[in-house]
Amino acid sequence: MRRVKNVFSTLAVVASLALSAQSSNIPSHYTTMYENQMGSKSASVEAVVLSAKEKVEINLNEMLTDPVLRNASWGFVVYDPATRKIVNSYNENQALVPASTTKLLTTDTAMGLLGSAFQWITQLEYSGEITSDGTLEGNLHIVGSGDPSLGTGKAGASSYSAIVSDFVFRISELGIKKIQGDIVIQTGVFKENKVPTLPKNIVWLEHNNYYLPAGTTLNIDPTKEKLTISKKSPFEENKQYFYISPYVNKLVFANEYSAQPLSTRLPDAPHYLANTLRTSLIKNGISVLGKVSARSTDPNPEPRVAITSYRSPKLKDIVYDTNQRSDNALAEALLRMVGFQKDGDQTLDSGRNVVRAYLESKNFDTSQLSFIDGSGLSRSHRVTPISQVKFLADQMDEKYFRDFFDSLPIAGQTGTLKNSFDGEGYGQIFAKTGTLRGVKTLAGYIKTRTGKTLAFSLLINNYSGSVDQVKNRMERILAPTLNL
Confidence of residue 480 (pLDDT cuts 50, 70, 90): very high
The residue among 305 and 205 whose pLDDT is bigger is: 305
User: Which pTM value belongs to this model?
Assistant: 0.78
pLDDT at residue 257 in the model: 52
Higher pLDDT, 240 or 268: 240
In percent, how much of the chain has pLDDT > 70? 72
Provide the pLDDT for residue 270. Answer: 75
Lowest mean pLDDT across 47-51, 53-57, 403-407, 424-428? 47-51
**Does the pLDDT at position 40 exceed 70?**
no
Residue 159, phi then psi, degrees to nearest 5: -75, 165
Cβ proximity of 197 and 210 under 8 Å: no
- The better pLDDT of the pair 1, 437 is held by 437
pLDDT of residue 259: 52
**Cα(443)–Cα(435) distance, integer angstroms:** 12
- C-alpha dihedral (207, 208, 211, 216), degrees to nearest 10: 180
Task: List Cβ<8 Å contacts ≥24 apart for 347-352.
Answer: 348/373
Read off the pLDDT band of 97 (50, 70, 90): very high
Taking the C-alpha atoms of residue 84 and residue 62, their distance in angstroms, rounded to an integer, is 27
In the prediction, which pLDDT does 341 show?
78
- Per-range mean pLDDT, top range of 33-37, 47-51, 343-347: 47-51
Contact of 184 with 269, CB cutoff 8 Å: no
Burial 151-163 (b: 16+ CB within 10 A, else e): bbebbebbebeeb
pLDDT in tens, 390-408: 999 999 999 999 999 999 9
Lowest pLDDT segment from 39-48, 139-148, 224-233, 296-305: 224-233
Lowest-confidence pick of 72-76, 256-260, 330-334, 374-378: 256-260
Yes or no: domain 53-115+316-483 corresponds to CATH 3.40.710.10: yes
Q: What is the pLDDT of residues 414-446, one digit of tens each?
A: 999 999 998 889 999 999 999 999 999 999 999
pLDDT band at 304 (very low <50, low <70, confident <90, very high): confident
CATH number for the domain whose boundaries are 121-311: 3.50.80.20
Average pLDDT over residues 361-379: 94
DSSP 8-state assignment for residue 96: B
Reply yes or no on whether the pLDDT at 342 is more than 90. no
CA nearest neighbour of 163 among 178, 149, 150: 150
* pLDDT of the residue at 282: 96
- 76: helix, strand or coil: strand
Name the region of 223 (left: φ>0; alpha: ψ -120 to 50; beta: rest): alpha
- The CA distance from 158 to 152, in Å, is 7
Query: What pLDDT digit, counting tens, does each position of 168-216 carry?
Result: 999 999 999 999 999 998 766 544 555 555 555 544 444 445 444 444 4
Domain boundaries, the chain: 2-49, 53-115+316-483, 121-311
Rounded distance, CA 25 to CA 258, Å?
102
Please state whether beta strands 140-144 and 183-187 pair in parallel, antiparallel, or not at all (unpaired): parallel
The CB density around residue 250, as the number of other CB atoms within 10 Å, is 11
Please tell me the predicted confidence (pLDDT) of residue 193.
Answer: 52
